[in-house]
Amino acid sequence: MLTSLLAGKRIVICAGSGGVGKTTTAAAVAMGMAERGLRVAVVTIDPARRLANSLGLQELGNEPRLVDLTPHGIEARGELWAMMLDAKRTFDELIERLAPDERTRDEVLANRIYQQLSSAVAGSQEFTAIAKLYELDQDRRFDLLVLDTPPSRNALDFLDAPDRLTRFFQGRALRLFLRPAGFGGKILGRGTGVVFSVLQRVTGVDLLRDLSVFFRSLGGMVDGFTDRARRVGALLEDPATTFLIVTAPRHDPVEEAIFFHRKLRAAGMPFGGLVVNRLHVAPHGPLPPDLGAALTARVEAALEDLSALAERDAANVERLRAALGDPAAVVPELDDDVHDVQGLALVREHLFAD
Ligand SMILES: Nc1ncnc2c1ncn2[C@@H]1O[C@H](COP(=O)(O)OP(=O)(O)OP(=O)(O)O)[C@@H](O)[C@H]1O
Ligand SMILES: [Mg+2]
């Protein structure tokens, strides 16, 4: 089902609430599609170190690297590429592209205000993730891009990240600053000048100069930025883009998945399917006869707990099914964390089992 759902897509975005398995699903989907002959790149965000190591992503290169699957006994007709998003670096690269000349570029990159701002914007990761996606999509090096999304409290932050950035660049605050005789001029005028120069003496940082250089250099880039944010945003609505909503079968993530789905539709963004991850499955079959009384009692207690979990999960899946239809894939709770290529291979078996 996942295979047909992804047919003809160029971008898959794995969204969902925190800790449900977005990174795991993104990587496993990418692996499965590489096996099906595509050249796939997965853009992961803050993967666990062990998983990153297993994918050969020790260094942050901010560019995809080819993952060698053969040592793991996996034959891929296509190629699996993986990268870890370096949000700050992506933001810097954007400045490099948009700056009219090298001098402006260097001025902005070296500017302390920019450094603060870019860490703050990049820190939220939502915009930079889509910006990177846009970059990779433009290159046409890959048949399919799979995007992991940041562990945001609210998956919706992701959807309006481009808008938020556009609002910032078109917003009153920045405009006032950029208008020579406006509020910015006043702020940078006499009285504040005294404050700034005192600050400078105390801290050794020439804030006033930083501020004016920042706004002067950035002024010429507002249009470029706005335009970029608009195109990056448009990518989310492209028919070749699809969203997989990843969720665990527990109360809160399920409610968030349903809410997110509604928002996706309202925003005109393409919902592809639902992935239920970490489903507890009720145990079945008789216990081995030779366990002994004490052990049998303990095993039975554990089985009871597991049955209760399985029941709870099943009820949550029903709730999901009623709201969003049948899941495109269901992955059980595995015995172990998914921290290497082998683990991913197991997840992808369940993802693509139909
Ligand atoms: N089916 C599964 N069975 C067992 N463990 C799993 C399964 N799927 C994911 N995990 C484990 O659950 C943890 C969370 O998974 P993952 O990092 O993919 O979630 P995430 O949604 O990306 O989290 P975050 O929101 O923090 O980015 C990881 O330790 C992962 O190994
Ligand atoms: Mg993650």
Mean pLDDT is lowest, of 113-127, 173-187, 333-347, for 173-187
Reduce the DSSP state of residue 82 to 3 states and report it. Answer: strand
Q: What is the mean pLDDT of the chain?
A: 85
Confidence of residue 155 (pLDDT cuts 50, 70, 90): low
Backbone Cα Rg of the chain: 24
The answer to whether residues 247 and 274 touch, using CB atoms and an 8 Å cutoff, is yes
The yes-or-no verdict on residue 80 having pLDDT over 50 is: yes
In a domain, 122, yes or no: yes
In a domain, 195, yes or no: no
Minimal-distance CA residue to ligand 1 atom 6: 337
In a domain, 203, yes or no: no
- Write out pLDDT tens, residues 281-311: 988 777 777 888 888 888 889 899 999 999 9
148 CA: nearest ligand 1 atom: 22
Gap from CA of 262 to ligand 2 centroid (Å): 22
Mean pLDDT is lowest, of 96-110, 202-216, 264-278, 334-348, for 202-216
Gap from CA of 349 to ligand 1 centroid (Å): 16
Tokens of 306: 């597991």
- Given this model, what pLDDT does residue 152 score? 64
The answer to whether residues 27 and 35 touch, using CB atoms and an 8 Å cutoff, is no
Confidence of residue 208 (pLDDT cuts 50, 70, 90): low
State in Å, rounded, how far the first CA of the chain is from the last one. 6
Distance CA 161, CA 45 (A): 16
Distance CA 69, CA 78 (A): 11
- Given this model, what pLDDT does residue 121 score? 65
Q: Which of 22, 23, 24 to mutate to test the pocket of ligand 1 (most atoms within 8 A of CB)?
A: 24
What is the separation of C-alpha 249 from the centre of its chain, rounded to a whole number of angstroms?
21
Q: Is 160 exposed, middle or buried (0-12, 13-18, 19+ CB in 10 A)?
A: middle
What letter represents residue 98's amino acid?
L
Tokens of 61: 């290169």
Q: Is 17 in the pocket of ligand 1 (CB under 6 A)?
A: no
List the shell of residues around ion ligand 2, using CB closer than 5 Å.
22-23
- Given this model, what pLDDT does residue 185 score? 47
Gap from CA of 268 to ligand 2 centroid (Å): 25
Sign (positive or negative) of CA dihedral 152, 153, 159, 164: negative
Reduce the DSSP state of residue 80 to 3 states and report it. Answer: strand
The answer to whether residues 15 and 252 touch, using CB atoms and an 8 Å cutoff, is no
Q: Is 75 exposed, middle or buried (0-12, 13-18, 19+ CB in 10 A)?
A: exposed
The CATH number of the domain where 93 resides is what? 3.40.50.300
User: What is the residue range of 90's domain?
Assistant: 2-168+238-282+290-351
- Given this model, what pLDDT does residue 196 score? 55
Mean pLDDT is lowest, of 101-105, 153-157, 185-189, 340-344, for 185-189
The yes-or-no verdict on residue 273 having pLDDT over 60 is: yes
DSSP codes of every residue in 276-289? EEEE-----SPPPT
Gap from CA of 318 to ligand 1 centroid (Å): 22
Q: What share of the chain in percent tops pLDDT 90?
A: 46
Mean pLDDT is lowest, of 60-64, 105-109, 224-228, 238-242, for 224-228
Instruction: Report CA-CA distances (Å) from 79 to 38, 42, 234.
Output: 6, 11, 27
Strands (E), the chain: 11-15, 39-44, 65-66, 79-84, 144-148, 241-247, 271-279, 329-332
Minimal-distance CA residue to ligand 1 atom 4: 334
- Given this model, what pLDDT does residue 131 score? 82
In a domain, 200, yes or no: no
Between residues 211 and 101, the one the model is more confident about: 101
In a domain, 247, yes or no: yes
In a domain, 347, yes or no: yes
Confidence of residue 331 (pLDDT cuts 50, 70, 90): very high
- Given this model, what pLDDT does residue 79 score? 98
Gap from CA of 30 to ligand 2 centroid (Å): 15
Q: What is the mean pLDDT of residues 236-242?
A: 91
What letter represents residue 250's amino acid?
R
Gap from CA of 200 to ligand 1 centroid (Å): 47
Confidence of residue 87 (pLDDT cuts 50, 70, 90): confident
The yes-or-no verdict on residue 117 having pLDDT over 90 is: no
In a domain, 148, yes or no: yes
Q: Is 245 in the pocket of ligand 1 (CB under 6 A)?
A: no
Mean pLDDT is lowest, of 99-113, 137-151, 208-222, 228-242, for 208-222
Q: What is the total count of domains within the chain?
A: 1
Q: Which ligand is nearest to the CA of 17?
A: 1
What is the separation of C-alpha 135 from the centre of its chain, rounded to a whole number of angstroms?
15
Minimal-distance CA residue to ligand 1 atom 9: 21
Distance CA 271, CA 323 (A): 13
In a domain, 9, yes or no: yes
Confidence of residue 182 (pLDDT cuts 50, 70, 90): very low
What is the separation of C-alpha 341 from the centre of its chain, rounded to a whole number of angstroms?
20
